[in-house]
Structure 1
Amino acid sequence: MVIRELSGVILTRGPKLCNFVEWRGFKVVYKRYASLYFCMCIDQDDNELEILEIIHHYVEILDRYFGSVCELDLIFNFHKAYYILDEILIAGELQESSKKTVALLIAAQDSLVETAKEQAGSISNIIAQATK
């Protein structure tokens, strides 16, 4: 319901209009990058320009990670997109402004995932051989 209502409001706005919309007592800040829209709902007293900077920061990191991020990257790797967002924001506040630091944290997480997959594969092989 919320997504349908907000997307209807945002998608019908002209490209020359500002990126802030009043909605249900909140402000929605959005930014379009090619065919992707990134939106954040904020309180009335929050700074819209700061939120636009946070959105841009997030998209730059996604671009670096995926190499020109597109819709399919986010669909098939939504868990990575959320992980990246969790490295940048905590409770809606910017926690890490360094793209390099975020990239290092993401690389470390990817390495841990690969190691876990390898270990799980080797355990599966040991179990398969033991049960023959």
Structure 2
Amino acid sequence: MIKFFLMVNKQGQTRLSRYYEHVEIPKRTMLEAEVIKNCLSRSKEQCSFIEYKDFKLVYRQYAALFIVVGINETENEMAVYELIHNFVEVLDRYFSRVKCFIMFNLDRVHIILDEMVLNGCIVETNKNRILAPLLVLDKMAES
């Protein structure tokens, strides 16, 4: 099961966070700081899977953006690693079509993530199905 999903820039600032189990706000801040420090301090040659406390971290770097996913021991690391890449491909497909910057449209990014992950479980990977609700919203906004 996925515990949390983070998008972080190279400066260590969280740009998006989604938690799939309850974590109190002060603990989230500490958790994010530690997780970000662990991932940003690693070199590109090191593995993208980290054992951390009672769960694992799976992360990928795309230019100045890190995507970090916290998972429990039952989740497949490679599946989550590919989920991250699929998520980025969906973002690229949608935002290149709309010609707008991701950080100014976090509501759209949340919709994409919510279409892919529900209650910590991966539910959809088909890019067309993931984008369908957003395309309907865009058509409604145009008319």
Query: What TM-score, normalized to structure 2?
Result: 0.71
1:5, distance to aligned residue in structure 2 (A):
1.1
**1:67 aligned counterpart, secondary structure:** helix
CA distance in 1, matches of 2:66, 2:95: 17
In 1, the alpha carbon distance for the partners of 2:53 and 2:139 equals 42
SS at match of 2:60: strand
> How far has the Cα of 1:87 moved from its partner?
0.8
Deviations 1:3-53 (A, max 9, x none): 211111100001001101111210010011111111110002211000011
Task: Give the helix-richer structure, 1 or 2.
Answer: 1
Of 10, 20, 38, the residue aligned with 1:9 is 38
Structure 2: 5+ residue runs without aligned partners? Answer: 1-29
Aligned to 2:82: 53
- Structure 2 letter corresponding to 1:17: Q
**Length, aligned pairs only:** 112
Q: For 1:25, which of 36, 42, 54 is the aligned residue?
A: 54
Higher alpha-carbon Rg: 1
Q: Which has the higher strand share?
A: 2
Per-residue displacement from partner, 1:82-130 (whole Å, max 9, x unpaired)? 1110011111222122111222221012334x26xx7xxxxxxxxxxxx
Identity of aligned residues (%): 33
Deviation at 1:2, TM superposition (A): 1.6
1:92 aligns with 2:107: no
Partner Cα separation in structure 1 for residue 101 and residue 38 of structure 2 = 25
Separation in 2 of the partners of 1:95 and 1:44?
19
| SS of the residue 2:101 aligns to | helix
Distance in 2 separating the partners of 1:96 and 1:109: 19
Per-residue deviation at 1:81? 0.4
